[in-house]
Amino acid sequence: MPSQKKRPVTLTVADREELVRLTTTGVHPVSMVRRARVLLALDASVGVVDPEEVIAARLEVSRETLRLVAKRFADSGGDARATIGRKKPARPPVPSPVTGEVEARLIKLACSAPPEGYSRWSLRLLEKHVVLVDDIPDLDHSTIGRVLKKRNFVLI
């Protein structure tokens, strides 16, 4: 029973009432309800807690789920709402390298005459030439294709 010894879950009366209400009434995401039930089952403030095997079988979750919910409860400082809720992303999303200026320069390159020895531009040929241009970031041929498709540009 590592999670009960290492990270005991002790809920306040208000947290316990909120979790009971959440699990019995209303429409909530299944993962939220599952974590609320796990917290209620691991709560040591009501008395003796059943062994992890019994709780896992009763709630139809794995022992790993019990351990992770107890760990998340301890990491959130005993905040039951933060434990059952959805985790916030640790970092902001990565901005796209394709801006309006990059898009315009890419379309300008695709509209220009193809290099010597080629009859037309292909996505892979555009990819090779984008690497040579300093003011355009290195883009994959699939990204170039998406940009051109977004603007209804057809390579002829």
In a domain, 89, yes or no: no
Rounded to an integer, what distance in angstroms lies between the CA atom of residue 116 and that of residue 10? 74
Domain count for the chain, please give it. 2
Range of the domain at 15: 2-84
The verdict on 46 and 113 lying in the same domain is no
- Is 93 a domain residue? no
7, 47: one domain = yes
In a domain, 94, yes or no: no
Q: What is the mean pLDDT of each run of 10 residues along the chain (156 residues)?
A: 66 92 92 94 85 92 93 90 86 87 92 93 94 89 93 86
User: Is the Cβ–Cβ distance between 127 and 133 less than 8 Å?
Assistant: no
Three-state secondary structure call for residue 36? helix
Backbone angles phi, psi at 43, to 5 degrees: -65, 120
Residues 51 and 124 in one domain: no
- pLDDT tens across 25-61, in order? 989 999 999 999 999 999 888 888 888 899 999 999 9
Is there a single domain that holds both residue 137 and residue 63?
no
Note the pTM of the prediction, 2 decimals.
0.59
Contact 66, 55 (CB under 8 A): yes
Q: Per DSSP, what are the bridge partners of residue 43? A: 9
108 with 141, same domain: the answer is yes
Residue 90 belongs to a domain: no
Instruction: Answer yes or no: is 92 within a domain.
Output: no
